């Protein structure tokens, strides 16, 4: 069957550093049954989403008909070694800045000790031999200076030990101080993402086989998309995957980017400077403008990608300050896909954050406006998407979805399954009553570190965990349970067999989704019915509140006055409607309020059972839970649309 004849679906992938190796297998299995429209993810999930978008582009555009066969080979590629004693390709992706190579060596030492389930003390001592030798030498010199002549002088031995300990402590303090300085200077991460000294002429094969993780991502994306090294895959390419006609110019209105997208990609990153979650490719118009410096991006992206960003930047908006040029970030259609991946994958301390610059919007040709923009230019740091939303399950939500959105979740096995040495476990809900209770994570009462870790996890993912348990959400989520001591996560040194096990689990997850959501099958019908039930109940609650409050008069005699249509164009204090549709807008606002009144009257016995929400079974152990309302219930809330996809599928 041709890709265009396959039924459409959306996909959302959870972050998890190396746990993302489950995704290639899952996506290859899904690709046999579905074509992909909206694709989202965070952190390692963003890498899976980017590779999926590139492969789907290659398949749909005809530039690489074998793209998904190439995706299937990625786990084996990352698990391969040149020689059996050498590191895997996965390990070689994490290449540190030269100044921080000793710190990365310490990380590898700790990971090896963890993998062998032994104390890291001996390994740490082995890796700290320069400090030990230095301290021993100082102790020996101190002993000579003190005139040590007899081995029996205990106080002299004590003095030597004290000098040894002091010298070792001083060496460690200097080393940690230096590492801290370099971490701050180099973007709060050991690994920048791209190899220093490589230029735009570096072949894609070299980037793929020798480069760091950003180099590798760029090379793989270009290969999957069937594109040359000097033409990075952009959002415009994805949006026009089914029609490759050229388009130029700089669209000024974001609405021009909304219509007719063939493949859409939405990646979560975190603006740590302003403490905000942000969605790439920055579709939401705002009063600020993002800028970049070439030197900032050369460390974190391949040179060819940086060259594209410079060429695609609107030269009218370039700013010069202190001898440096600040380029305006290109408009969303011209943003490279790999930029979104790199913005989302910036795991704190391990992977450097990405520095962009922000200033207030301004108009070219206005000297005062330019001067104001220069004065307000500030650095802005983007770090891992998982900091604020590691599992963006609501990325493509609609009240009534027209196609399924498959969500692939990653979680830790419980301690019992770990002890039994089980391979990754794939789970989905089996009925409407399954999955209502959010599963327990690891025990948090056994150590302070475990409790603090659970607090951080709750802050990061509490909202997503709550959403994942909702009716009409939990039935579309497949969860892959991994052993955190050896599989995925920060296990950067997994061997080929472990990576193959992750790939196998991903394929099982994809097969589970295919079997459950076959077009016209019961699961998809039930999912649509659940979404209808929960959406109607949420709309009812919101409408009743809207209608009641629209009629209320506050202590000062003011009201929304929808029933009186009192507001005229001159009365509204701000954000007034345009003259052409002012009366029409207020007319329909009045009808909404009237409809809410009719809805309230239609309920059987307010404030008794709702019209759409149904009733809860009298007993929690009712043998017919499906006859009640879906639980937990849903509510409609307003939230900022910061760069999120304005289209709802």
For residue 130, the SS3 value is: helix
| Separation CA 211–CA 233 (nearest Å) | 19
| Separation CA 496–CA 488 (nearest Å) | 12
* Residue (of 125, 135, 137) closest to 168 by Cα position: 135
Give residue-wise pLDDT tens across range 530-553: 888 888 888 888 888 887 777 777
Give the pLDDT mean for 308-331: 91
Residue 649 has pLDDT above 70, yes or no: no
Range scoring the smallest mean pLDDT among 475-484, 595-604, 622-631 = 622-631
**Other Cβ atoms within 10 Å of 489 Cβ, number:** 18
Q: Are 305 and 329 a contacting pair, CB within 8 Å?
A: no
The residue with greater pLDDT, 123 or 24, is: 24
Most confidently modeled of 1-5, 159-163, 229-233, 441-445? Answer: 229-233
For residue 324, the SS3 value is: strand
**Other Cβ atoms within 10 Å of 10 Cβ, number:** 25
Strands 425-427 and 288-292, by their bridges, are unpaired
Provide the pLDDT for residue 124. 47
Within 8 A by CB and 6+ apart from 39, the residues are: 10, 11, 49, 52, 53, 56, 263, 264, 265, 266
| Separation CA 551–CA 573 (nearest Å) | 19
Provide the pLDDT for residue 627. 56
Provide the pLDDT for residue 253. 46
Residue 631 has pLDDT above 50, yes or no: yes
Q: Is 635 exposed, middle or buried (0-12, 13-18, 19+ CB in 10 A)?
A: exposed
Residue 441 has pLDDT above 70, yes or no: no
Residue 283 domain-assigned (yes or no) = no
Grade residue 411 by pLDDT with cuts at 50, 70 and 90.
confident
| Separation CA 520–CA 528 (nearest Å) | 11
Residue 284: phi and psi, rounded to 5, are -75, 125
Grade residue 470 by pLDDT with cuts at 50, 70 and 90.
confident
Provide the pLDDT for residue 220. 96
Give the pLDDT mean for 228-232: 85
Give the pLDDT mean for 364-386: 87
Provide the pLDDT for residue 226. 93
Output the pTM of the full model.
Answer: 0.84
Provide the pLDDT for residue 508. 94
* Residue (of 183, 547, 140) closest to 353 by Cα position: 183
| Separation CA 14–CA 298 (nearest Å) | 28
Residue 648 has pLDDT above 60, yes or no: no
Domain boundary (150, 173, 191) is at: 191
Output the CA angle 299-200-73, nearest 5 degrees.
Answer: 85
Residue 301 domain-assigned (yes or no) = no
Residue 102 domain-assigned (yes or no) = yes
Residue 118 has pLDDT above 80, yes or no: no
Residue 398 has pLDDT above 70, yes or no: yes
Grade residue 327 by pLDDT with cuts at 50, 70 and 90.
very high
Provide the pLDDT for residue 563. 46
For residue 187, the SS3 value is: coil
Strands 405-412 and 8-13, by their bridges, are parallel
Catalytic (active site) residue 574 = no
Residue 214 domain-assigned (yes or no) = no
Domain boundary (191, 208, 227) is at: 191
| Separation CA 353–CA 350 (nearest Å) | 9
Give the pLDDT mean for 267-272: 91
> 632 preceded by cis ω (within 30°)?
yes
- In the chain, the number of structural domains is 2
* Residue (of 67, 71, 69) closest to 58 by Cα position: 67
The residue with greater pLDDT, 575 or 485, is: 485
SS3 content of the chain, % helix, strand, coil (to 5): 45, 15, 40
For residue 51, the SS3 value is: helix
Provide the pLDDT for residue 75. 94
Residue 199 domain-assigned (yes or no) = no
Convert 138-150 into a string of H (helix), E (strand) and C (coil): HHHHHHHHCCCCC
Residue 117 has pLDDT above 60, yes or no: no
Which one of the listed residues 123, 264, 384, 645 is annotated catalytic? 384
Catalytic (active site) residue 620 = no
H/E element holding 389?
none
Give me the residue label for tokens 């004590």.
158
Q: Helix count (H) and strand count (E) of the chain?
A: 21, 14
Which one of the listed residues 19, 43, 383, 486 is annotated catalytic? 43
Residue 349 domain-assigned (yes or no) = no
Residue 510 has pLDDT above 90, yes or no: yes
**What average pLDDT does the structure give for the chain?**
79
- The H-assigned helical ranges of 469-581 are 496-516, 522-551
Residue 251 has pLDDT above 50, yes or no: no
Residue 446 has pLDDT above 50, yes or no: yes
Phi-psi category of residue 465: left, alpha or beta, with phi > 0 → left and psi -120 to 50 → alpha: alpha
Domain boundary (149, 165, 191) is at: 191
Q: What is the DSSP secondary-structure string of 149-186?
A: --TT-HHHHHHHHHHHHHHHHHHHHHHHHHHHHHHHHT
Question: For the CA atoms of 644, 645, 646, 649, what is the dihedral angle to 10 degrees?
Answer: -140
Grade residue 122 by pLDDT with cuts at 50, 70 and 90.
very low
Rg (CA), the chain: 29
Q: Are 192 and 212 a contacting pair, CB within 8 Å?
A: yes
pLDDT more than 90, % of the chain: 31
| Separation CA 201–CA 203 (nearest Å) | 6
H/E element holding 411?
strand 405-412
Grade residue 121 by pLDDT with cuts at 50, 70 and 90.
very low
Residue 279: phi and psi, rounded to 5, are -110, 125
Residue 514 structure tokens: 């295919």
Grade residue 50 by pLDDT with cuts at 50, 70 and 90.
very high
What DSSP character marks residue 570? T
**Other Cβ atoms within 10 Å of 569 Cβ, number:** 11
Give residue-wise pLDDT tens across range 74-94: 999 999 998 888 899 999 999
Give me the residue label for tokens 């301004």.
362
| Separation CA 352–CA 188 (nearest Å) | 5
Residue 537 domain-assigned (yes or no) = yes
Q: Are 390 and 42 a contacting pair, CB within 8 Å?
A: yes
Strands 425-427 and 477-482, by their bridges, are antiparallel
Domain span at residue 164 reads 98-191
CA 635 vs CA 159, 431, 474, 616, 632: distances in Å: 71, 22, 16, 16, 10
Strands 324-328 and 288-292, by their bridges, are antiparallel
Q: Is 581 exposed, middle or buried (0-12, 13-18, 19+ CB in 10 A)?
A: exposed
Q: Are 257 and 250 a contacting pair, CB within 8 Å?
A: no
Paired strand residues for 84: none
Provide the pLDDT for residue 249. 42
* Residue (of 193, 216, 192) closest to 74 by Cα position: 216
Residue 187 domain-assigned (yes or no) = yes
């Amino acid at each position: 069957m041709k890709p265009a004849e396959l039924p459409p679906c959306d996909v959302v992938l959870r972050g998890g550093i190396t746990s993302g190796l489950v995704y290639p297998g899952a996506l290859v299995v899904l690709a046999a049954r579905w074509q992909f429209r909206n694709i989202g993810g965070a952190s390692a999930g963003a890498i899976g989403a980017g590779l999926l978008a590139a492969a789907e582009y290659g398949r749909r555009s005809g530039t690489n008909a074998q793209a998904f066969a190439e995706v299937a080979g990625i786990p084996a590629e990352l698990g391969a070694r040149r020689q059996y004693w050498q590191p895997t390709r996965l390990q070689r992706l994490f290449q540190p800045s030269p100044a921080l190579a000793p710190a990365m060596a310490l990380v590898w030492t700790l990971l090896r000790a963890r993998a062998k389930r032994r104390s890291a003390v001996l390994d740490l001592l082995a890796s700290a031999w320069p400090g030990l030798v230095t301290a021993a030498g100082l102790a020996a010199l101190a002993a000579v200076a003190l005139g040590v002549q007899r081995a029996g002088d205990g106080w002299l031995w004590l003095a030597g030990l004290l000098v040894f300990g002091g010298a070792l402590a001083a060496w460690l303090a200097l080393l940690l101080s230096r590492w801290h300085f370099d971490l701050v200077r180099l973007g709060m991460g050991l690994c920048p993402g791209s190899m220093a000294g490589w230029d735009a002429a570096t072949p894609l094969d070299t980037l793929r086989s020798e480069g760091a993780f950003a180099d590798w991502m760029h090379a793989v994306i270009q290969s999957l998309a069937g594109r040359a090294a000097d033409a990075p895959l952009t959002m415009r390419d994805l949006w026009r995957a089914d029609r490759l006609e050229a388009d130029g110019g700089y669209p000024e209105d974001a609405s021009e980017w909304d219509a007719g997208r063939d493949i859409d990609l939405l990646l979560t990153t975190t603006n740590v400077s302003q403490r905000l979650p942000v969605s790439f490719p920055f579709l939401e118009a705002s009063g600020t403008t993002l800028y970049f410096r070439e030197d900032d991006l050369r460390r974190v992206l391949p040179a060819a990608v940086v060259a594209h960003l410079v060429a695609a930047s609107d030269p009218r908006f370039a700013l010069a300050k202190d001898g440096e040029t600040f380029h305006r970030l290109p408009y969303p259609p011209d943003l490279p896909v790999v930029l979104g991946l790199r913005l989302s994958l910036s795991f704190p301390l391990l992977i450097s954050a990405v520095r962009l610059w922000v200033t207030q919007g301004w108009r070219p040709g206005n000297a005062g406006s330019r001067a104001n923009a220069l004065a307000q230019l500030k650095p802005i740091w983007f770090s891992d998407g998982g900091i604020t939303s590691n599992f963006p399950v609501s990325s493509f939500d609609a009240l009534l979805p027209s196609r399924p959105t498959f969500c692939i979740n990653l979680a830790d096995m419980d301690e019992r399954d770990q002890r039994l040495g089980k391979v990754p476990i794939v789970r989905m809900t089996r009925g409407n009553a399954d999955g209502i209770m959010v599963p327990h994570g690891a025990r948090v009462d056994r150590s302070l570190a475990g409790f603090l870790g659970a607090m951080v996890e709750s802050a990061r993912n509490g909202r997503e965990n709550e959403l994942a348990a909702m009716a009409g959400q939990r039935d579309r989520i497949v969860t892959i349970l991994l052993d955190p001591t050896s599989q995925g996560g920060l296990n950067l040194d997994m061997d080929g067999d472990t990576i193959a096990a992750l790939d196998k689990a991903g394929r099982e997850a994809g097969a589970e989704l295919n079997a459950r959501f076959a077009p016209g099958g019961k699961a998809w019908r039930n999912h649509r019915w659940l979404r209808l039930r929960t959406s109607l109940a949420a709309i009812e609650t919101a409408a009743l509140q809207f209608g009641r409050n629209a009629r209320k008069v506050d202590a000062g005699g003011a009201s929304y006055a929808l029933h009186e249509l009192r507001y005229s164009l001159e009365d509204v204090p701000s954000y007034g409607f345009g003259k052409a549709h002012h009366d029409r807008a207020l007319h329909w606002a009045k009808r909404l309020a009237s409809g809410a009144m009719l809805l309230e009257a239609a309920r059987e016995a307010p404030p008794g059972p709702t019209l759409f929400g149904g009733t809860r079974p009298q007993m929690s152990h009712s043998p017919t839970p499906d006859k009640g309302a879906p639980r937990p219930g849903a509510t409609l809330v307003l939230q900022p649309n910061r760069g999120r996809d304005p289209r709802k599928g």
